[in-house]
Amino acid sequence: MNLRKKYNIPSDAVITIAGTVGVGKSTMTNELANALGFRTSFEKVDLNPYLDKFYGDFNRWSFHLQVYFLAERFKEQKRIFEYGGGFIQDRSIYEDTGIFAKMHFEKGTMTPTDYDTYKSLFEAMVLTPYFPHPDLLIYLEGSFEDIVDRIKVRGRPMEQQTPIEYWKEMHERYENWINSFNACPVLRLNINDYDLVQDAGSIEPIVEKIGNFLEQTRKLVK
């Protein structure tokens, strides 16, 4: 039986997968979309013209990269809106501003003027009808050691050359960020509690959790 129907997940739901670099968002996006018969919305890392340059020189490229990501996510958001939902989205727009832009500004690798410009652009774009909040944000969490191992195994060259302190800082910021995030309902999943790579069957308990969670949030809204 179709897992979406079995667990009563609306066909127009929009579910965003959040979490630090390497935690397993893309893998989860693919598996969940397959299980639910949903479309996917991915970050296109290979086609990003700034990402490599950014890792080589944060000061020079952080503003360009944030503006590029913002434009890409806005286009994706519009696509999701036009299809009428039924999407799994790899990373939320909230992380761009709440984690990345903020971190680069606070560490001094984005100037205050650039950060202000970015924030006003973000606010102007997000406050449009194309930006309904997702029905659910799934937050993937795990130990710093496990996540760094995954970054190493995946082996993107630009990420291998990045000092480990960068990933540590990001891991800590994510924990703080999610604890105060309230733009939409959040379901937290620990990466030690499932294994989508070795065990294909581990997606069903996750879908069941999502179904139960959405049902609870529907009751709260009524």
Ligand X SMILES: Nc1ncnc2c1ncn2[C@H]1C[C@H](O)[C@@H](COP(=O)(O)O)O1
Ligand Y SMILES: Nc1ncnc2c1ncn2[C@@H]1O[C@H](COP(=O)(O)OP(=O)(O)O)[C@@H](O)[C@H]1O
Active site residues: 90
Confirm or reject binding of residue 220 to ligand Y (CB under 6 A): no
Torsion of CA 82, 76, 40, 97, to 10 degrees: -130
Distance CA 205, CA 18 (A): 19
Distance CA 200, CA 30 (A): 12
Give the HSE-up count for residue 106: Cα atoms under 13 Å, Cβ half-sphere.
Answer: 11
* 45 has binding-site annotation: no
Confirm or reject binding of residue 24 to ligand Y (CB under 6 A): yes
* 22 has binding-site annotation: yes
Give min distance, CB of 23 to ligand Y, in A: 4
Identify what 24 binds: ligand Y, ligand X, none; CB under 5 to 8 Å per kind. ligand Y
* 109 has binding-site annotation: no
Confirm or reject binding of residue 171 to ligand Y (CB under 6 A): no
Task: Take residue 45 and report the two structure tokens written for it.
Answer: 């890392």
The residue (of 87 and 100) whose beta carbon lies closer to ligand X is 100
Confirm or reject binding of residue 21 to ligand Y (CB under 6 A): yes
Three-class DSSP category at 2: coil
Binding residues for substrate are 43, 55, 66, 91, 96, 159
